[in-house]
Structure 1
Amino acid sequence: MSAASNNLISEQQSVVASEQRFRALVTATSDMVYRMSADWLVMQELDGRGFLPNTTAPNADWIEQYIHPLDKEKVRTAIQEAIHGKKIFQLEHRVLQRDGSIGWTLSRAVPIIDDAGTIVEWFGAASDITDRKRFEEALTEAKEQSEQQKRLYETITSGTPDLMYVFDLNYNFIYANEALLTMWGKTPEEAIGKGLLENGYEPWHAEMHEREIDYIIATKESVRGEVSFPHAVLGSRVYDYILIPVIDERGEVEAVAGTTRDISDIKEHDQRKNDFISMVSHELKTPLTSLTAYLQVLDKKQIAEADEMAKRAIFQSIKQTKRMTNMINGFLNLARLESGKLFIEKIDFDIAVLLKDIEEETFILYPNHVFIFEPVESVMINADRAKISQVIINLINNAAKYSELGSTVQISCVRIDNNIFIKVKDEGVGIMDEEMPKLFERFYRVQNNNLIAGFGIGLFLCKEIINGHGGEIGVESVLSKGSTFHFTLPLNVN
């Protein structure tokens, strides 16, 4: 045998050995290995490794047996492309597993080509990628649901003028609706992922919200407030906002959501209303003051002339002008309160002296009730004397209005530690349980007593005045048996 022949045989043996090593490597590292005829019509062999049924004899029905119906055409197309180009076949597709369930595989096959360049068979390997594909499908589905929810939320939030947003725990915006972006004059790309300062908030404003976010994270409680902020188009505006915790499945705060509403127009309207009330009240007080003075002159004159009928008429007139003056003062105080101008002007005074003055006035204004002013210890307090007097007189007035003629009203004042405790107890109609929490609300009137005159601002002002002094006001009542209004005031003597 010639040397050339020996070299050829040696090369052929080397190729065979290399092919055998390649097959062994593929077989050892793959989930499945298979051999196909040159035209892929017949599967010569398949070692399914428990994933697919094994084929030990030629199988011409392999596509029907192994390939999922929805992927048959895709597999056939990929086979034709590989045969036509004499290139590696590679495809991810669904298969029918050994147990009948649907699986996924990544299949690769290389053409075995003879010396003439003809494909004689295909040698392939396949990996089980079912878990990965299921994860990808779940991820895709979750992403689609997330996108759908996002579109839904965007549709909802874009239809409201309110500003809606979400902070992460590092004070960065992770969501802002279209109204907020418009207010900033920014695009989502410019604003999302940025902090408060980066989105135009002044340092004090940013620090305030950061403290609020810290508080929400620590307590899981919401925060509400009011603040001014410059609008990119409209200029300075006033906003009412609420921040709430977003709780995860472990019960921890994972984000902080916020809603802000522009209340500038409401504020402006309220200011005009309060200015109007204040103006009208001042205008009404002028003739009332004059009328009261004339009546007092007539009253003194009638005492000398002893005309009982005229005396009673003048007395009732003074009483009604006093009542109207109190109502006007109430409206004035309400207007001042709502405009932030209800000042508490504290002075040192003796509470016993104040109650004595109120006692004398009460006997004159309400002659048809029995008033019992219990003895009061002389105690100096530091408070707004006129406004505390207004509170006590208002409580006495209510007691008289909602009680039968001839019934008793008791007024007491005692010192408890560093506070004084004042009570006004009546024998009137009482208050229903469901109405008790609403009594101190603005413009609220007891529903079963609509025939009694009033505007529902007296108790609201009482509460604001007492709160302004650092005290507390409350009520206890039994229907048809009477009510007891009470409040506390800290002494705060200078």
Structure 2
Amino acid sequence: MSHETAKEDFSLLLQALDASISGIILTDNRLPDNPIIYCNKAFETISGYQRNEIIGHNCRFLQKEDRDQKEREKLRNAIRNGESCIVDIRNYHKDGTLFYNELYMSPIKDDQGRVSYFIGVQNDVTHRKKAELDLRHQQQLMEKRISERTQSLKESEDYLASIVQTVRESLIVLDPDFRVLSVNDHFLKTFKVTTGDTIGKLLYDLGNGQWNIASLKELLENILPTNNPVEEFEVEHDFPHIGRKLMVLNAHRIELEGQYKDRILIAIEDITDRREIERRKDDFLSIASHELKTPLTTIKGLVQIMQRTVPPELGEKFRSVLEKTGVYVDRLNNLIAELLDVSRIQTGNIELHKDLFDFDKSVHEAVDTIQAATKSHQIQVSGNTGEMISADESHIVQVINNLLSNAIKYAPDHREIEVYLSQVSNFVKFSVKDQGMGIRMEDHKKIFDRFYRAGEIQQRFPGMGIGLYICDQIIKNHGGTLWVESEPGKGSTFSFTLPLNTQAT
């Protein structure tokens, strides 16, 4: 077969896979943790993730926190034994929505009979599973539910009405023509109106037209009917009597049959003050960081001059004090540099200067630098990518240094740190594994938030909780992803991917 024929056949195969309505993935069993190296378009549609968020991950990321399913043990045994298997497993869409996945998994073996890859064919069978579960549940509880509903209907209505009136958000119920059916007390107080001013009125006519807001019309008339529900929709408007308000709207159209059909529920959260506080905090952070930078640079210079000009008669104790002063000045300087990075990220002023560089070489140089500064841990590097990537080398090295420093910091009783490099499809992948205290599942996403620190870590280790936030933003700005795999008491593995092509994907 000629090279051109093989290339044409391969292109045809990829087109066929992308045309499939079933999700198809390939995982590389030769690499640690059996990462995904290929997915078709249908898999992206089924999972809700884009390709750059999928490549390099183990398939378990689809189960999120739901890790106790017996089907996972069946999959592990099949992978361990190099066998095929079929399971129905609970997975979660990127937005957190549960869906049931019918998975057919088979090994792909090389000429020596060793399992090199696994292919997974997946179908969303949520409707079938829900129908089965609903039918079973209805058969068991129908009679009991009818009697309980009849008995407690009035009580429930009163209870729900009390909740609606005491909730700290403005709530509106509209009919299909956008006329107000009811509002809660918080809405009346916030927008300084009465029930007579609202009930039965067209929403856009409220307050002499002050609710005639273009973005609100777009939400109700164009977005909501095609995307039910709508969450975290921001609306900013200057109201005549109460001033400018920044609001977050959550809207839901009731699609049930009966008297409540097509009613629209809107919850309004006023975040004007909160956003202003955040803006002031970011301004303070930026100003304070810049103002501290100048005198600290002067202090560092003076300490260095003193270190070079110490008279011999002052002795070793004085030299030791100066050396410790220099160390703490450097720590403070690094902290201020991180605060400046946070400020730049928040204001959208982070600058990336991309250029081609040898990824493996940069990783090894960063490891050598960290290793030279610590005697308590041994860092082992394995694997390679053999690739030149287009990225901001200084920022990528900053991420690597932070992850390595964290691995050392949070595993003080374990000497070994493992670094692994690999190429996964058209991405390079970096992983650093420690044997430290580990991280709870519920903290996996939060640790990348600004200023977040898990309770146990906060008690045992100093820090401000901005290092991982900066790392996450840098990797995202390069078109990659940063994530963690960890369990309490079993250490942590932090990994990131970066695209090989020069454009962020």
TM-score by length of 1: 0.57
Who is 2:285 aligned against? 277
Q: Deviations over 1:222-271 (max 9, x none)?
A: 41122311112233221122223435268x97233111122211221222
Structure 1 residues 318 and 403: CA distance shift in structure 2, 3 A:
farther
Q: Tell me the distance in 2 between the aligned counterparts of 1:486 and 1:308.
A: 44
- Judged with a 3 Å threshold, the aligned counterparts in structure 2 of structure 1 residues 426 and 215 are, in CA distance, closer, same or farther, namely same
What CA deviation, in whole Å up to 9, does each residue of 1:176-227 have, x standing for no partner?
557657749793378426589966444355224434312334xxx4411223
Q: Which is further off, 471-480 or 272-281?
A: 471-480
2:401 is matched with: 393
Could you tell me which residue of structure 2 aligns to residue 188 of structure 1?
198
Query: In structure 2, how many angstroms separate the alpha carbons of the residues matched to 1:368 and 1:374?
Result: 20
Does 2:352 correspond to 1:345?
Answer: yes
CA distance in 1, matches of 2:238, 2:166: 22
Note the C-alpha offset of 1:474. 1.6
Structure 1 residue 328: Cα displacement: 1.9
Distance 1:452 1:311, change over 3 A: same
Residue 478 (structure 1) shift: 4.2
Distance 1:395 1:467 in 2: 16
Alignment of 1:202-217 (within 5 A): 202-217=213-228
Q: Residue in 2 aligned with 1:326?
A: 334
Picking from 467, 474, 479, the partner of 1:465 is: 474
- Among 250, 254, 260, which residue is 1:246 paired with? 254
Q: Is the 8 A contact 2:205 2:211 kept in 1?
A: no
CA distance in 2, matches of 1:299, 1:191: 77
Find out whether 1:164 has 2:174 as its counterpart. Answer: no
Is the CA contact (8 Å cut-off) linking 1:226 and 1:240 kept in structure 2? yes
Once residues 432 and 189 of structure 1 are traced to their aligned partners in structure 2, the CA distance between those partners, rounded to angstroms, is 48
Equivalence map 1:87-98=2 (5 Å): none
* Distance verdict in 2 for CA 1:216–1:322, change over 3 Å: same
Structure 2 letter corresponding to 1:212: I
Distance 2:474 2:198 in 1: 47
Aligned to 1:420: 428
C-alpha deviation, 1:485, in angstroms: 0.7
Contact 1:172 1:195 in 2 (8 A): no
Unmatched 5+ residue regions in structure 1?
A: 1-144
Residue identity in the other structure for 1:164:
L
* Contact 1:216-1:223 at 8 Å conserved across structures: no
In structure 2, relative to structure 1, the CA distance for the partners of 1:434 and 1:235 (3 Å cut) is closer
Q: Does 1:484 align with 2:471?
A: no
Paired residues in the alignment total 341
Note the alpha carbon deviations across 1:124-146, whole angstroms, 9 max, x for none: xxxxxxxxxxxxxxxxxxxxx99
Contact conserved, 1:163 with 1:259, CA < 8 A, in 2?
yes
User: 2:451 touches 2:465 (CA, 8 Å); kept in 1?
Assistant: yes
Which AA in structure 1 matches 2:407? A
1:296-307 matches, within 5 Å, as: none
SS of aligned partner of 2:436: coil
Q: Is 1:381 the equivalent of 2:389?
A: yes
What is the deviation of 1:275? 1.5
Q: Indicate which of 257, 261, 266 corresponds to 1:258.
A: 266
Aligned partner letter, 1:343: I
Residue 465 of structure 1 aligns with an amino acid whose one-letter code is I
Secondary structure, counterpart of 2:273 in structure 1: helix
Q: Secondary structure at the match of 2:451?
A: coil
**Greater alpha carbon shift after TM alignment, 171-180 vs 381-390:** 171-180
Letter in 2 for 1:214: P
Distance, in Å, in 2 between the alignment partners of 1:406 and 1:300 is 37
Q: Specify the alignment match of 1:408 in structure 2.
A: 416
Q: CA deviation at 1:300?
A: 7.5
Q: Is the 8 A contact 1:228 1:239 kept in 2?
A: yes
Which moved further from structure 2: 277-286 or 311-320? 311-320
Question: Could you tell me the percent identity over the aligned residues?
Answer: 28
Please give the secondary structure, in 2, of the residue aligned with 1:248: coil
Q: Structure 1 residues 291, 368: CA separation in 2 closer, same or farther (over 3 Å shift)?
A: farther
Aligned residues of 2:180 and 2:199 also touching (Cα < 8 A): no
How far apart in 2 are the matches of 1:360 and 1:216? 52
In the aligned structure 1, how far is the partner of 2:321 from the partner of 2:381?
A: 28
Distance 1:228 1:316, change over 3 A: same
Kindly report which structure 2 residues correspond to 1:4-403, keeping only aligned pairs within 5 A, or say none: 162-169=169-176, 173-176=180-183, 183=191, 187-188=197-198, 191-192=201-202, 200-217=211-228, 221-248=229-256, 254-294=262-302, 317-338=325-346, 340-350=347-357, 351-374=359-382, 376-403=384-411
RMSD: 4.2
Relative to 1, partners in 2 of residues 1:288 and 1:370: Cα closer, same or farther, differing over 3 Å? farther
Equivalent of residue 454 in structure 1, options 458, 463, 487:
463
Q: Distance in 1 between matches of 2:268 and 2:371?
A: 52
Structure 1: distance between partners of 2:298 and 2:225: 58
Does the 8 Å CA contact 2:429/2:498 hold for their aligned counterparts? yes
Q: Distance in 2 between matches of 1:323 and 1:270?
A: 26
Asked if 1 retains the 8 angstrom alpha-carbon contact of 2:385 and 2:422, the reply is yes
Q: Cα distance, 1:375 vs. partner? A: 6.0
Instruction: State the secondary structure of the residue aligned to 2:460.
Output: coil
Q: Residue 441 of structure 1 contacts residue 460 of structure 1 at CA under 8 Å; is this kept in 2?
A: yes
- Partner amino acid for 1:419? F
Q: CA deviation at 1:401?
A: 0.8
| SS of residue in 2 equivalent to 1:439 | helix
Displacement after TM superposition at 1:346 (Å)? 4.7
Further displaced range: 415-424 or 201-210? 201-210
Distance 2:276 2:368 in 1: 43
Kindly tell me: are residues 184 and 198 of structure 1, through their superposed partners in 2, closer, same or farther at Cα, counting changes over 3 Å?
farther
The alpha carbon displacement at 1:341 in A equals 2.8
Please tell me the residue identity of whatever aligns with 1:430.
G
Structure 1 residues 466 and 169: alpha-carbon distance in aligned structure 2, compared to 1, 3 A threshold: farther
Whether contact under 8 Å (1:248, 1:254) holds in the other structure is: yes
Residue 331 (structure 1) shift: 2.5
Q: CA deviation at 1:453?
A: 0.7
| Rounded Cα–Cα distance in structure 2 between residues aligned with 1:444 and 1:394 | 16
Once residues 175 and 430 of structure 2 are traced to their aligned partners in structure 1, the CA distance between those partners, rounded to angstroms, is 49
**Counterparts of 2:378 and 2:387 in 1: how far apart (Å)?**
26
Distance 1:172 1:405, change over 3 A: same
**Whole-angstrom CA distance in 1 between matches of 2:392 and 2:181:** 49
